[in-house]
Amino acid sequence: MKAPASGQEHLKILLRRGAIQRRVREMARQISRDFHGQRVHLIGVLKGASIFLSDLIRHMRVEVSLDFMAVSSYGKGSQSSGQVRLTKDLDTSIEGLNVILVEDILDTGLTLNYLVRVLQQRKPKTLRIAALLDKPERRIKEVKADYVGFQIPNEFVVGYGLDYAERYRNLRDVCILSLPPE
């Protein structure tokens, strides 16, 4: 079925739902192997990572606990200015825990670079990053993602949790969104 687009917006499928599901399952297995016999504390970055996180944990075969953070970055439209601000902090301490920060997409790296600095100060036992998508071309700040689902080209994507003005998060495929000229 063709994904519904609004107005003159156009959607083109980049990653099909089956491929996403297979890759997420592989990532969960890899994490389960790496943390065999241990507990893993997953921190989802709201709101984009929520769909990825909820699929990921259901394939994990280790003990799992969850928490969430939210950030906002100042800037216009899809361009970030580089200033990141925490808008929702964790509910509980992460001291001594095996933490995996779960993010939808790694783009300039500003968000994850900031979050890693914040979380490292709280003395987790280990801190890793799982990102469904990675746009390496756009990197400004160096970030080492331990688990990456797909490297994608420098296009604006929506679906599987990713939005444009809060829309399209519910698409099961990841699609490239083209906007009408302003």
Would you tell me which residues interact with ligand 5GP (CB under 6 A)?
A: 48, 80, 103-111, 156-158, 162-164
Q: Closest distance between ligand 5GP and the C-beta of residue 131, in Å? A: 9
Residues 6+ apart with CB under 8 A from 73: 80, 81, 82, 83, 84, 85, 110, 111
What is the pairing mode between strands 10-15 and 174-178? Answer: antiparallel
Residue 98 or 111: the one with the smaller Cβ distance to ligand 5GP is: 111
Q: Closest distance between ligand 5GP and the C-beta of residue 156, in Å? A: 4
Residue 150 or 156: the one with the smaller Cβ distance to ligand 5GP is: 156
Among the options 55, 104, 107, 173, which is catalytic?
107
Residue 34 or 169: the one with the smaller Cβ distance to ligand 5GP is: 169
The structure tokens 């959607």 sit at 11
Residues 6+ apart with CB under 8 A from 78: 156
Residues in the chain: 182
107 is catalytic: yes
Catalytic residues: 107
